[in-house]
Amino acid sequence: MAEIEHIWRSPKRRELMEELETAQVFENEGVEGCAHRRGGKRNVLFVAAEDLESLGVAPGRVKENFTVRGADVMNWPIGQRLVIGDAEFEVSMVCDPCELMEEIRPGLQAELEGKRGMLAKVLKTGRVTAGDEVVLGHSFRGEDAGSARTQRYGRDRGRSLGASSAAQWHSRYFVKPS
């Protein structure tokens, strides 16, 4: 099962992230109180805890809003729907590592290639709490769209999410996982 391990927001730009136990996210905006909150398709950033660990980087350091445990985040396809807590998201794009990663550690920008995470749009306002399950729904780009890793980097390691709780699927555009 994939779950939210950490929740982060930036009180001011270019400052360290602060960890939250729970956060309100707003449709087409992002995490309440985050200096990076904005409209468009870059509302929030999801990063795999396992990718951070493989690089020796502490959660929150790459400016993610959600650190996810148990999911290969980079394999989520563009258009993938997510239900977390009572909020809903749609994966919108790969987050390319920028030069600011070099301030954390020289060489980190290159090391993060293919591991920086996925940006998403908030589709439904709601509350997300650390420990919430990440429930995958249908992708609007279709099941054959491929993973973001394949689309961006030409390789696919396959999905690593296990079966999700059937009680959390949303009947409008989500189906019971098989």
In angstroms, the first-to-last Cα distance of the chain is 14
- pLDDT at residue number 74: 97
Across the range 111-120, mean pLDDT stands at: 97
Please report, for residues 18, 55, 64, 132, the alpha-carbon distance to residue 21 in angstroms, rounded to integers and kept in the order given: 10, 24, 15, 11
pLDDT in the model for residue 58: 97
DSSP one-letter string for 28-85:
TTEETT-TT--SSS-SEEEEEHHHHHHHT--TTTT--SEEEESS-GGGSPTTEEEEET
At 176 the pLDDT is 37
Q: What local confidence, expressed as pLDDT, does residue 166 receive? A: 29
**Mean pLDDT value of segment 50-66:** 97
The pLDDT tens digits of the residues spanning 116-163 come to 999 999 999 999 999 999 999 877 654 444 444 434 433 333 333 333
pLDDT-derived band of residue 97, with 50, 70 and 90 as boundaries? very high
Distance CA 1, CA 163 (A): 7
pLDDT value at residue 121: 98
User: In the predicted model, what is the mean pLDDT of residues 46-54?
Assistant: 98
Q: What digits encode the pLDDT tens for the residues 4-46?
A: 999 999 999 888 999 999 999 999 999 999 999 989 999 999 9
d(CA 25, CA 37): 9
Which position has the higher pLDDT, 140 or 174?
A: 140
Whole-angstrom distance, CA of residue 20 vs CA of residue 70: 20
User: Which residue ranges form the domains of the chain, and what is each CATH number?
Assistant: 3-150 (2.40.33.20)
Instruction: Report pLDDT for 79.
Output: 97
**Residue 151, SS3?**
helix
Q: Any bridge partners for residue 9, and if so which?
A: 18
pLDDT at 164: 33
